[in-house]
Amino acid sequence: MTGPRYTPLVAALPATVPFIGPETQERARGRPFAARLGANENVFGPSPRAIEAMAQAAREVWMYGDPENHDLRHALAAHHGVGADNVVVGEGIDGLLGYLVRMLIAPGDAVATSEGAYPTFNFHVAGFGGVLHKVPYKGDHEDPDALITRAAETGAKLIYLANPDNPMGSWHDAATIARMIKAVPEGALLVLDEAYVDLAPAGTAPAITPEDPRVIRMRTFSKGYGMAGARVGYAIGSAPLIEGFNKIRNHFGMSRIAQAGALAALADQAWLAEVQTRVAEARDRIAAIVRANGLAPLPSATNFVTIDCGGDGAFARRVLAELIARDIFVRMPFVAPHDRCIRVSAGRAEDLAAFEAALPAALDAARRSAG
């Protein structure tokens, strides 16, 4: 008796996932974390209006969600001053990245990205047989010039850039991104991942004509709006490109509950402003904690702070392991030289108090094990 006959591409792929979730780690550990500070989640949560809207929608969950996401698309279009035909809604940025790669990348097609950048994008490219061409960061920032050069050299069909960046928390100003868009090679598309832009300084997001065929910008309700578990993302791009998503997307992928919550969250910009304030305060608190322990926080335009542990990747991994052993869930970049760092999400006062209490002992244990 034979099993499924996989395609050669799928048969050749490793059985792996981009991230090991905190729930997986908790099951392996046999106990929960005291502070969940590793997944870049917005612990301050969604707007109370969004919670109320989702609770109301739960009573109607026997119905499918609107397959056109009509109300949410039109609200997003009005919010951004674009046409509704310039907006597509999907299952988070991760889902939209998968659709985009499926649309544009055939086996062997070139894609340009940065070494150590968001791995889920790479996961999609590998899953459809694309070939990744990577450039190093320039310091702790992605390098727009190097990405454009590599795209031109390889004939890349997609160029991926996150602004602000995950995992370093760094960012480029709007003028730098605008220059990059102007330099996109003929036939290439810049994937501008702006997941964290709601938490970035003014002047980070460039003004982009929605019909510009050189760029698609991606946004999410997971970060600033605090709805990571609802999986609501959207993209803004030229109408022909957005129409292409309708050929392949899961038209019933967005639940009624998620659509209702996102619509209410978008309407409550006062709550977003409150979250922005709380995140900024938490970033400052994390910076103070780590400086008091002799470490260096990197500037951040996100809801996390990347922390230079002052050693190499092996030392940072020991620090990470010691924090996890003390019930503090954090993560770290995975490519040198950025793996000298760990990454801590902007948490509530009690979360950061737990981190502050655990860090000195974790550092001491990491240093002793190095000796």
All residues at 6 or more sequence positions from 287 whose CB lies less than 8 Å from its CB, including other chains? 297, 305
Residue 160 near residue 143, CB atoms below 8 Å: no
pLDDT in tens, 19-44: 789 999 999 999 999 999 999 999 99
CA-CA distance, 325 to 118, in Å (whole number)? 26
Assess whether 178 and 117 both reside in one domain: yes
Assess whether 339 and 262 both reside in one domain: no
Does 183 fall in a domain?
yes
Assess whether 178 and 125 both reside in one domain: yes
Assess whether 153 and 242 both reside in one domain: yes
* Cis-peptide into 185, omega within 30 deg: no
Q: Number of folded domains in the chain?
A: 2
Assess whether 26 and 88 both reside in one domain: no
Beta bridge partners of 36: 329
CA-CA distance, 332 to 185, in Å (whole number)? 33
Beta bridge partners of 94: none
pLDDT band at 371, cuts 50/70/90?
A: low
**Domain end point (choices 224, 246, 267):** 267
Predicted confidence at residue 57, as pLDDT, reads: 98
Assess whether 215 and 318 both reside in one domain: no
* Average pLDDT over all residues of the chain: 96
Predicted confidence at residue 23, as pLDDT, reads: 95
Does 10 fall in a domain?
no
pLDDT in tens, 346-368: 999 999 999 999 999 999 999 99
pLDDT in tens, 280-335: 999 999 999 999 999 999 999 999 999 999 999 999 999 999 999 999 999 999 99
Is 358 exposed, middle or buried, given 0-12, 13-18 or 19+ CB atoms closer than 10 A?
buried
CA-CA distance, 36 to 23, in Å (whole number)? 10
Range 230-259 average pLDDT: 97
Predicted confidence at residue 3, as pLDDT, reads: 86
CB-facing half-sphere around the CA of 361: CA atoms within 13 A: 12
pLDDT in tens, 122-131: 999 999 999 9
Q: Indicate the pairing of strand 341-345 with strand 87-90.
A: unpaired
**Domain end point (choices 267, 282, 315):** 267
pLDDT > 90 fraction of the chain, expressed in percent and rounded: 95
Does 135 fall in a domain?
yes
Phi-psi region of 133 (alpha: psi -120 to 50; beta: other; left: phi over 0): beta
**Domain end point (choices 238, 267, 296):** 267
Whether residue 14 has pLDDT greater than 90: no
Assess whether 73 and 162 both reside in one domain: yes
Does 363 fall in a domain?
yes
Assess whether 129 and 180 both reside in one domain: yes
Task: Match 């850039």 to its residue by tokens.
Answer: 161
CA-CA distance, 246 to 232, in Å (whole number)? 17
Does 148 fall in a domain?
yes
CB atoms within 10 A of CB 327: 16
The pTM assigned to this predicted structure is 0.96
Assess whether 289 and 208 both reside in one domain: no
All residues at 6 or more sequence positions from 310 whose CB lies less than 8 Å from its CB, including other chains? 294, 295, 296, 340
Assess whether 119 and 247 both reside in one domain: yes
pLDDT in tens, 265-275: 999 999 999 99
Task: Report the run of H or E that residue 89 belongs to, with start and end.
Answer: strand 87-90
- CA dist 350 to 48, 332, 337, 359, Å? 21, 22, 31, 14
Does 150 fall in a domain?
yes
Q: Which two tokens stand for residue 172?
A: 């480029």
Whether residue 2 has pLDDT greater than 90: no
* CATH code of the domain containing 57: 3.40.640.10
Predicted confidence at residue 16, as pLDDT, reads: 77
Assess whether 55 and 172 both reside in one domain: yes
Per the structure, the complete domain to which residue 191 belongs is given by 48-267
pLDDT in tens, 77-121: 999 999 999 999 999 999 999 999 999 999 999 999 999 999 999
Assess whether 32 and 56 both reside in one domain: no
Whether residue 159 has pLDDT greater than 90: yes
CA-CA distance, 262 to 340, in Å (whole number)? 37
Does 349 fall in a domain?
yes
* CATH code of the domain containing 309: 3.90.1150.10
Does 65 fall in a domain?
yes
Range 205-230 average pLDDT: 97
Q: Pinpoint the alpha helices (H) of 232-348.
A: 239-245, 256-267, 269-292, 313-325
